[in-house]
Chains A and B, each alone.
Chain A
């Protein structure tokens, strides 16, 4: 009995300690020379520079997200399969952090038909503001390149409903441009946990 209590305490303690999110993606060990000594540094996967246009016609780049954490996903306005669910769930993120300046949202359109005007109309219909939630478009190959950087697969596919194939993940990026959490953006329970992950990241020192 005592033994079991002891074990339980350890487990509880271990849980208490875990208040940091993992850093996702490939990492590399790089040897650096600091003050004449060789030290090994871990280099994590980081999101590279990008430049797109949002629903208000403004240029949105990696600089837009400097000093912020952000949630990103890939969708298109006429997507019949998973996008309405994703947008319903992303609206939960939007509502929760609407007045929190530390958080932004970035949704990439993967459809060539989604012009700035189409995105603007869409934003109006789901009642969001571009200062918090950027719906962006750009060169298709640039969007595809960025999707890979967030570990999201996108594809043009005439056989798919809507003409494009993509997964519905939400990806959480920290201030150092590292990926810290992902979830299935069509699954409310998964998103529930993702919202808690965002709080953990915001509270990290």
Chain B
């Protein structure tokens, strides 16, 4: 009888284990990361390192640290003209992302500020809205 109970419990333990394992292995990605992979990683690369003197890094970027209010506009409208990042000059157009919503841009901006070895303060959705109203 006891034995039978034990056998009965085994599958339950097994599946519970699988479930817990799943949670550890497939940590749900935040939206910012998904958007980065979809819209930015092809150029700035998965780890944010960029490419030679063609595409600037978003990793440890001093431009980001100095211009936190400009990222929302840069994402929405792209960027043209010379820009200096970590002492290296870049000059190659970045295309706009006109389809991203304010909330998506908010999530993307904060994902970048908190990852890629950047330590830029989080921006609220209101701030992002303000930023987007001042794009030139």
Residues on A lying within 8 angstroms of B by beta carbon are 78, 80-82, 84-85, 87-88, 91, 122, 124-127, 161
B54 at the interface (CB under 8 A from A): yes
The winner among A80, A87, A122, A125 for most chain B CB atoms within 10 A is A125
* Contact A122 B54, beta carbon cutoff 8 Å: yes
Can you show 21 pairs from A to B with CB atoms below 8 A apart?
A78-B93, A80-B42, A80-B95, A81-B42, A82-B42, A84-B43, A84-B45, A84-B51, A87-B51, A87-B52, A88-B45, A88-B51, A125-B52, A125-B53, A125-B54, A125-B92, A126-B52, A126-B53, A126-B54, A127-B53, A161-B95
The winner among B42, B53, B92 for most chain A CB atoms within 10 A is B42
Q: In the bound complex, what is the Cα–Cα distance between A84 and B46 (angstroms)?
A: 12
* Chain A hits for B55, CB < 8 A: 84
Residue of A nearest to B93 (CB): A78
Question: In angstroms, how far is the closest chain A Cβ from the Cβ of B31?
Answer: 22
* Chain A hits for B54, CB < 8 A: 84, 87, 122, 125-126
Residue of B nearest to A126 (CB): B52
Q: In the bound complex, what is the Cα–Cα distance between A78 and B55 (angstroms)?
A: 11
Residue of B nearest to A186 (CB): B42
Interface size on B, residues (CB 8 A): 11
* Chain A hits for B52, CB < 8 A: 87, 91, 125-127
Residue of B nearest to A128 (CB): B52
Q: In the bound complex, what is the Cα–Cα distance between A124 and B91 (angstroms)?
A: 13
Partner of A85, one of B45, B53, B93: B45
Q: In the bound complex, what is the Cα–Cα distance between A45 and B63 (angstroms)?
A: 51
Q: In the bound complex, what is the Cα–Cα distance between A84 and B53 (angstroms)?
A: 12
Q: In the bound complex, what is the Cα–Cα distance between A124 and B43 (angstroms)?
A: 18
* Contact B53 A80, beta carbon cutoff 8 Å: no
The winner among B43, B52, B93 for most chain A CB atoms within 10 A is B52
* Chain B hits for A88, CB < 8 A: 45, 51
* Chain A hits for B42, CB < 8 A: 80-82, 84-85
* Chain B hits for A127, CB < 8 A: 52-53
* Chain A hits for B93, CB < 8 A: 78
Q: In the bound complex, what is the Cα–Cα distance between A63 and B92 (angstroms)?
A: 34
Question: In angstroms, how far is the closest chain B Cβ from the Cβ of A131?
Answer: 19
* Chain A hits for B51, CB < 8 A: 84, 87-88, 126
* Chain A hits for B43, CB < 8 A: 80, 84
Question: In angstroms, how far is the closest chain B Cβ from the Cβ of A189?
Answer: 13
Q: In the bound complex, what is the Cα–Cα distance between A88 and B52 (angstroms)?
A: 8
Question: In angstroms, how far is the closest chain A Cβ from the Cβ of B29?
Answer: 20
Interface string of B80-114 (1 = CB under 8 A from A): 00000000000011010000000000000000000
From residue 1 to 58 of chain B, which have CB atoms closer than 8 A to chain A? 42-43, 45, 51-55
Residue of A nearest to B90 (CB): A125
Question: In angstroms, how far is the closest chain A Cβ from the Cβ of B68?
Answer: 25
Closest 9 CB pairs of A and B: A125-B53, A126-B52, A125-B54, A84-B43, A84-B51, A80-B95, A88-B51, A81-B42, A125-B52
Q: In the bound complex, what is the Cα–Cα distance between A91 and B52 (angstroms)?
A: 10
